[in-house]
A and B are shown apart, each in its own frame.
Chain A
Amino acid sequence: MEIRQIKAETVTETVKKLFMDCNYFIGKDIMTALKKSFENETSPVGKSVLSQIIENDKIAANEEIPLCQDTGMAILFVEYGDKVVIEDGSFEDAVNEGVRQAYCDGYLRKSVVSDPVFDRINTKDNTPAIIHTKIVSGNSIKITAGGKGFGSENMSAIKMITPSYGIEGVKQFILDTVRTAGPNPCPPIVVGVGIGGTFERAAQLAKQATFRSIDSSNTDPRYASLERELLEEINKMGFGPAGLGGNTTALGVNIETSPTHIAGMPVAVNICCHAARHASATI
């Protein structure tokens, strides 16, 4: 395969568009799930909340404005073809420039501070982005981008479970995390679960799981069935839309897994709100 040159500008434009699009247009998977939940919700308040969320998401799409004011930290999962060379600059700079332009030109909120503990000064352009890069063979770049709000991010958790706890231990930790989150992460939520790998791999998989469409299932039927079972259990908790009571606490549960160590079974739960925003493009 020939080496392919891609202009930094192309990366920037693609990233810019992805972040604007995902903040204005909710995915079809979420909209379909919201409408279905509206039909099935038994709480009158829950029903009213769902109808307002649906209306909100329609307004945002029609007027091309952010559907939530927390347009999040910019996160990208990149599959970078090993035959690609960025022509006139660095890939990382090009991505951050795209984020800067999306957040500044697209009227998105700048929510990033430069230092977590001491300064906490807003960087004013929502950079730097969190970029997860995987080198793959090929001559293209696939980018999946999403803005992640912290109302739900703050409710996430990770646990280094040991193998003897088995599937029951995994289920319990996921359900406990959702229960502790309760009404805070803007239910109905999307639950991303990462199981296996190491401490940081599990967390990354959990985030990646929230970026997967909720109308898809894990390809392993055992995990697909676990996704369905957990969704059912979560919706029995009663938190409901906005946490005001009802049977729609979650819209979907997505699980991603990875091989792990003989001594371990890390489980990470990344909670995402109904504003589960992500969009993909390949260049």
Chain B
Amino acid sequence: MAKRITLPITDEDIKNLKAGDSVLLSGTILTGRDAAHKRLYELIQNGDSLPVDIKGEIIYYVGPAPAKPGYAVGPAGPTSSYRMDKYAPTLLELGLKGMIGKGARNKEVVESIVKNKCVYFAAIGGAAALIAKSIKSEEMLCYEDLGTEAIRRYTVEDFPCIVAIDSDGNNVYETEPIKYRK
């Protein structure tokens, strides 16, 4: 059975999430990928303030396709998370609570997840049309010039994902494949 979570996610929610849990998220999440992360990171390095408040938020690594008329959003599946590894610990330090993407993370990110009591969710790569059904609306927040890479706010209802790395550092990418290795 999937665990239903209403956002914003609480510390209690995070504590109760265990690697491998199926989760349905409802509420709002931010979007952002390579270019947006680079900009946020550079602002932080320079000691400047961010154009969007990331405290308590969950960021979805996604660059959606355009919405066809009549659709709230275009297909929007996860992109590979490791490309954001360089930036993620800095954002987690600033209060970001969760990330949604696909694929493994490096050691620094896992350590930062544990240290800051956060969570990393995996969505199914390449299931963009299906995932978009759970995204009810979008709002442009900043970096519109980046096109698909802009930062948006999605309102989601039962957004499907799996806890890939929990706040204790348990990591499905480490524990699960071994069970099926022959």
**Which A residues lie at the B interface, using CB under 8 A?**
42-43, 45-46, 48-49, 52-53, 55-57, 59-60, 63-71, 107-111, 120, 122, 124, 151, 154, 182-184, 186, 236-240, 242-247, 273-275
Is the CB of B172 closer than 8 A to any CB of chain A?
yes
Q: In the complex, A108 Cα to B68 Cα: how many Å?
A: 9
Q: Are B63 and A70 in contact (CB under 8 A)?
A: yes
Q: In the complex, A25 Cα to B127 Cα: how many Å?
A: 13
Is the CB of B162 closer than 8 A to any CB of chain A?
yes
* Residue interface mask B146-158, A partner, CB < 8 A = 1: 1110000000000
Q: Are A244 and B182 in contact (CB under 8 A)?
A: no
Give the chain A neighbours of B62 by CB distance below 8 A. 69
Contact for B104 among A53, A237, A243, CB less than 8 A = A243
* Complex A-B: 10 CB contacts under 8 Å: A53-B124, A64-B68, A69-B148, A108-B65, A108-B66, A111-B148, A151-B102, A183-B104, A242-B102, A245-B177
Give the chain B neighbours of A124 by CB distance below 8 A. 147
* Residue interface mask B42-68, A partner, CB < 8 A = 1: 000000000000000000001111111
Give the chain A neighbours of B160 by CB distance below 8 A. 52
* Residue interface mask B135-166, A partner, CB < 8 A = 1: 00000000000111000000000001010100
Q: In the complex, A55 Cα to B134 Cα: how many Å?
A: 14
Q: In the complex, A144 Cα to B8 Cα: how many Å?
A: 47
Q: Contacts A45-B20, A245-B178 given; 6 further ones with Cβ under 8 A?
A: A42-B180, A52-B130, A64-B68, A67-B129, A151-B125, A242-B125
State the majority secondary structure of interface residues on A: loop
Q: Are A240 and B35 in contact (CB under 8 A)?
A: no
Is the CB of B75 closer than 8 A to any CB of chain A?
yes
Is the CB of B4 closer than 8 A to any CB of chain A?
no
Q: In the complex, A230 Cα to B156 Cα: how many Å?
A: 41
Give the chain B neighbours of A244 by CB distance below 8 A. 122, 162, 164, 172-173, 176
Given contacts A66-B129, A182-B173, whether A246 and B180 have CB atoms under 8 Å apart is: yes
Q: Are B127 and A52 in contact (CB under 8 A)?
A: yes
Least Cβ–Cβ distance between B103 and chain A, in angstroms:
4
Is the CB of B128 closer than 8 A to any CB of chain A?
yes
Given contacts A56-B129, A120-B35, A245-B180, whether A69 and B67 have CB atoms under 8 Å apart is: no
Contact for A243 among B76, B130, B146, B173, CB less than 8 A = B173
Q: Interface size bucket, B side?
A: 35 or more
**Most chain A beta-carbon contacts within 10 A, residue among B80, B146, B162, B178:** B80
Give the chain B neighbours of A65 by CB distance below 8 A. 65, 68, 71, 74-75, 129, 132
Is the CB of B107 closer than 8 A to any CB of chain A?
no
Q: Are A238 and B77 in contact (CB under 8 A)?
A: no
Q: Are A247 and B180 in contact (CB under 8 A)?
A: yes
Least Cβ–Cβ distance between A201 and chain B, in angstroms:
28
Q: Are B128 and A66 in contact (CB under 8 A)?
A: yes
Q: Are A184 and B103 in contact (CB under 8 A)?
A: yes
Least Cβ–Cβ distance between A74 and chain B, in angstroms:
14
In the complex formed, the residue of A with least CB distance to B82 is A184
Least Cβ–Cβ distance between A252 and chain B, in angstroms:
15
Q: In the complex, A45 Cα to B102 Cα: how many Å?
A: 15
**Most chain A beta-carbon contacts within 10 A, residue among B20, B65, B71:** B65
Least Cβ–Cβ distance between A157 and chain B, in angstroms:
16
Q: Are B147 and A110 in contact (CB under 8 A)?
A: yes
Give the chain B neighbours of A60 by CB distance below 8 A. 75, 129
